[in-house]
Structure 1
Amino acid sequence: MPKNGKLAVEFLNKVLAEGARIPPEDMMFSYKGVLFPAAVCNPGTLQALESFEARTDDIILAGYPKTGTNWLDHIINNLENTAAKYTEEEMKKITDLEKELEVAMRLEFGDPDKFKRMKKLPSRRIIITHLSPHLLPTSVFKNKAKILVLIRNPKDTLVSYFHFKNKVGFFPPSGWDDYFTSFMDGKVGWGSYFDYVAEWDKYTDDENIIAISYEELKENPNVGLKEIAQFLGFSLSEEEIQSVVEKSTFTAMKEKASETHGTFGDILFRKGSVGDWKSMFSESQNKEMDGRFEECLSRTKLGAKIKYDVYCKA
């Protein structure tokens, strides 16, 4: 998310207002076989993205929708701000520039010309995306930008995505059973969860890429934040790490949600818990998800990192 909170709120409020006016049949479009919500993405932007030039010192946060990217975005920005020790004047210059350039919250959001404007952003740029590797510009990998891949167990991801899409109003309406089927078939925004994780798994040995799970960040945020800070080259003391941890709890972020995300705040910060899937999944749905995970991800490194037997077994 941009450091300019007001800019982010304006963007989100605009999306909610305009998205509600889109007919259900026009709410989604397909680009290279993947579905995207028309309220925040358009084919022209995705096509223009192919020529985007990443910088070596860019930080890319990649995560499938509803895996905790807003949370981790908040953490990374807090880590950077704390390590950089910006003065009020320096911070104002950055936020004023972001407002002038109107840079949308996610790499794939907004208009096609945004990438030209992003060239004017100073290093280091923190860039958030829900895109799979094959849809990212090749410069991200060629220029060895640092990539942090965020993963979350599929059952909680599905439940969170279901509640989110029903609240925002710019996804086609559906009940739980129908949405479960759509998710399992990859017929949701940003495509298949299983393909997403499997594709990123191919990059886990790259020295410029690390993966972290939502669950491990919840379990031990201090350890997780230290790992992230070290990977990104942020130098912070134990006290500074603890300060960022305290600012990044779900309760702390939810209390400031209206300030940081406007009307969107209540939608984004619903529960922030682990295990919410137990309230939604039927026995047959549990078996279907268990089987799909075993088939697609159980033998991958990212699949092991999800700790499926710990978090997804009834």
Structure 2
Amino acid sequence: MEFSTKKIDDVELNTHIVGGVRHRRQVTPRKVLQDLQTFEIRTDDVVVITYPKSGTTWMQEIVSVLRHNCDFQKADQDFMRERFMFLDHQIGNEIAPYIKAKTQPSPRLLKTHLQKHQLPPQIFAKKAKVYMYFTCMKRNTSHQTPTSSPPHHFISLHTVYSFFFQVIFVSRNPKDTAVSYFNFHLGVVDLPKYTWQDFLHSFCIGDVVYGSWFEMNAYWWSQRKQKHVLFVKYEEMHQDLSSVILKVSKFLGWPVPDGKLADIVLHCSFDSMKSNRKVNFSEHPLMNIESYPFMRKGIVGDWIHYFTKTQTEKFDELYEHKMQNTGLQFEYISKTIRV
């Protein structure tokens, strides 16, 4: 569905297409994507996967705090990009995060925005401990004759698979995602610059960095019942953060200490994180944080300030077409929206 057909001059200059998906030339070179195909996933890895601007950093901070037993000073001792290895992201001549991850102690915290077919294949392998046990069953002897053989015992082998590595996928309604991602492009040095109309068109056809929102979200929504996958909506985090924290805590097996939940909610609130230099990317070399802050509004419903009536109608039609058989629905307006 077309919103615009204008060609953006710097799209081809600053990005390249690998495996049918557009990527940033400067931070996601072809070699990174190739090397990730042999990247080994450990059984106790925690992998946060999202489409960009869907609450990634928010979830990372929650996981970090839980990982360190709700010790905020220890959790924020390092910058977020040092705590979570951003697998598909390399800046300049720095050692690629996926290489650093190979020597990190377990459990490792990993992050990625990659589409399914570009993720390390081991993410989809049933990497698990295997438990085998035997049961002994006696043959039914009620019909035996005096000349029958003695009763036999049968051995039955049972196998139980138990997943250990865990995937947390955070999903955000596509309208707010598009608006936030559009503004993100304005604030990142090496990303193409669009008008809103041109960006929305590219977003809808999946021709933006990291590809199609629809394909990524449809896939992980289909995996939500897998025991090693937790599917969380950004809107849930916005509406009831404490419930989401408890859900993540239970999923990871990292309990919230008694009396600490309210403190975690405050620490992981949008306003707190926006002022936290260890998570707000204010010192990131590729971010123009003064003009376009990495953490902008943190609300549900900002799309209403960008989408025209015609754009809204066309987008709704597109969503129904792309996601008609998934059952994935979102809250698009929040009662607590801040203008």
**TM-score, normalization by structure 1:** 0.81
**Separation in 2, partners of 1:134, 1:223:** 32
- Equivalent residue pairs, number: 280
Aligned to 2:39: 52
- Structure 2 residue 121 is the aligned partner of structure 1 residue 138: yes
* Alpha-carbon distance change, 197 to 27 in structure 1, aligned in 2, over 3 angstroms: same
Moved over 3 A (4+): 85-88, 102-105, 111-117, 257-260, 263-266, 307-311
Structure having the larger proportion of residues in helix? 1
> Please, which of 105, 108, 120 is the counterpart of residue 125 of structure 1?
108
Matches for 1:189-204 after TM superposition, within 5 Å: 189-204=209-224
Cα deviation, residue 115, structure 1: 3.3
> Please, which of 206, 213, 216 is the counterpart of residue 226 of structure 2?
206
SS in 1 for 2:49: strand
Contact 2:242 2:265 in 1 (8 A): yes
Cα deviation, residue 91, structure 1: 9.3
> Please, which of 89, 95, 105 is the counterpart of residue 109 of structure 1?
89
* Alpha-carbon distance change, 231 to 25 in structure 1, aligned in 2, over 3 angstroms: same
Cα deviation, residue 236, structure 1: 1.3
* Alpha-carbon distance change, 79 to 113 in structure 1, aligned in 2, over 3 angstroms: closer
**Separation in 1, partners of 2:95, 2:73:** 33
Query: Sequence identity, in percent?
Result: 29
Contact 1:132 1:200 in 2 (8 A): no
Structure having the larger proportion of residues in strand? 2
Matches for 1:3-152 after TM superposition, within 5 Å: 25-82=12-69, 105-110=85-90, 114-142=97-125, 143=127, 144=163, 145-152=165-172
Cα deviation, residue 241, structure 1: 2.0
SS in 1 for 2:170: strand
Aligned to 1:231: 251
RMSD value, Cα: 2.8
Cα deviation, residue 119, structure 1: 1.8
**Separation in 2, partners of 1:171, 1:295:** 29
**Separation in 2, partners of 1:164, 1:274:** 16
Contact 1:58 1:125 in 2 (8 A): yes
- Structure with greater Cα Rg: 2
- Post-superposition CA distance 1:100-120 (Å, at most 9, x none): xx7885110127865343221
Once structures 1 and 2 are overlaid, which stretch shifts more, 290-299 or 267-276?
290-299
Listed as ranges, the gaps of 5+ residues in structure 2 are 1-9, 128-162
**Separation in 2, partners of 1:234, 1:103:** 17
Contact 2:65 2:72 in 1 (8 A): no
Listed as ranges, the gaps of 5+ residues in structure 1 are 1-22
Query: What letter corresponds to residue 208 of structure 1 in structure 2?
Result: H
Aligned to 2:267: 247
Cα deviation, residue 238, structure 1: 4.7
Q: Does 1 or 2 have the higher relative contact order (CA < 8 Å, sep 6+)?
A: 1
**TM-score, normalization by structure 2:** 0.75
